[in-house]
Amino acid sequence: MNDAARPVRHVLILGGTTEARRLATTLAPEPSVAPEPSVAPELSLEPTLRVTTSLAGRVAAPRLPAGHVRIGGFGGPEGLARWLREHAVDALIDATHPFADTISHNAAEAAATAHVPLLALRRPGWVPGPGDTWHQVTSLDEAAAALPTLGTRIFLTTGRMGLSHFAHLTDLWFLARSVDVPEPPHPPRMEVLLDRGPFTLEAERALLRTHRIDVLVTKDSGATATSAKLTAAREAGIPVVVVRRPPVPEGVPVAADPGEAVVWLQRLFNGAAGTAN
């Protein structure tokens, strides 16, 4: 079949993660930003493929992926389902952060409504090793409740959107690392460190030492770019409060890396869709 006769397939990636950018790089050429969140004229990237990555727009200066970029929300599952139909999306890949629970459930509902195949791209979670002192919890509120018995100088790496869960802990001191400046409410005794990974082990060791950190709080994002803090905490004998990630919506197949997502797409577009392992 020549290029002109090949059907064009439209892939929508719900992005914002390293894996989403890697997948877009595999499937598409250079980045370009849509002029309006509600209108996304896709770019034909290959004879049989066009790719759009959607970003929530919560980060002031996001790293743009390859291919066409759409910034802004959809208006819930109904809005996303409408967008899928109006833009003739053939496959939807949820490559959002493992803790973006709302958009993941919206994607599952929208995909079912619009009859679009859906794949979740999720990096594997972290696993404690010898010498780790982990306190695994199911929520930020549970993490906050555990802190008064663990230490007094807390390194928060849970993102700026969750700082309100710790705002009532007035007797503890916090170092909060964030890409953008957090807005209140947040703990009254808090220093903000604006930074973006990847972070080296040497830098994480120095940070814990300089700020005299005695407890680390993190979400199980599973990213290697931010895992050095776990090694540094283990070496320093510092306890780590780890918030478990929410499960992927029931019935949604999961790929552990972009390569598995590509295999899923190949099977889907060859007429033999299968679930990724």
pLDDT in tens, 67-92: 889 999 999 999 999 999 999 999 99
DSSP H stretches of helix in 172-257: 201-210, 228-236
pLDDT value at residue 186: 95
Q: What is the pLDDT of residues 115-138, one digit of tens each?
A: 999 999 999 999 999 999 999 999
For residue 162, how many other CB atoms are within 10 A of its CB?
21
Q: Confidence class of residue 61 from pLDDT cuts 50, 70 and 90?
A: low
Judged against a pLDDT cut of 50, whether residue 277 lies above it is answered with no
pLDDT one-digit tens code per residue, 169-182: 999 999 999 988 99
Share the mean pLDDT of the chain: 88
Helix, strand counts (H, E) of the chain: 7, 14
Specify the CATH class of 3-124+247-269 in words.
alpha beta
What DSSP element (H or E) covers 108? Answer: helix 101-114
pLDDT value for 59: 66
Asked whether the predicted pLDDT for residue 1 surpasses 60, the reply is: no
pLDDT at 46 over 50: no
> Is the pLDDT confidence value at 30 over 60?
no
CB 264 within 8 A of CB 119: yes
pLDDT of residue 38: 35
Domain boundaries, the chain: 3-124+247-269, 134-243
pLDDT at position 7 = 74
The CA-based dihedral angle spanning residues 29, 33, 38, 44, taken in that order and rounded to the nearest 10 degrees: -20
Confidence label for 42 from pLDDT (cuts 50, 70 and 90)? very low
Give 39's DSSP letter: B
CATH topology match: 3-124+247-269 vs 134-243:
yes
Angle in degrees, 0-180, between the axes of helices 76-86 and 101-114, rounded to the nearest 10: 50
CA dist 207 and 85 (Å) reads 48
Contact at 8 Å (CB) between 106 and 80?
Answer: yes
Q: What is the pLDDT of residue 5?
A: 53
Fold of 134-243: Rossmann fold (3.40.50)
What does the pLDDT look like over 212-233, one tens digit per residue? 999 999 999 997 878 999 999 9
Whether this model's pTM surpasses 0.85? no
- What's the pLDDT band for 102 if we cut at 50, 70, 90? very high
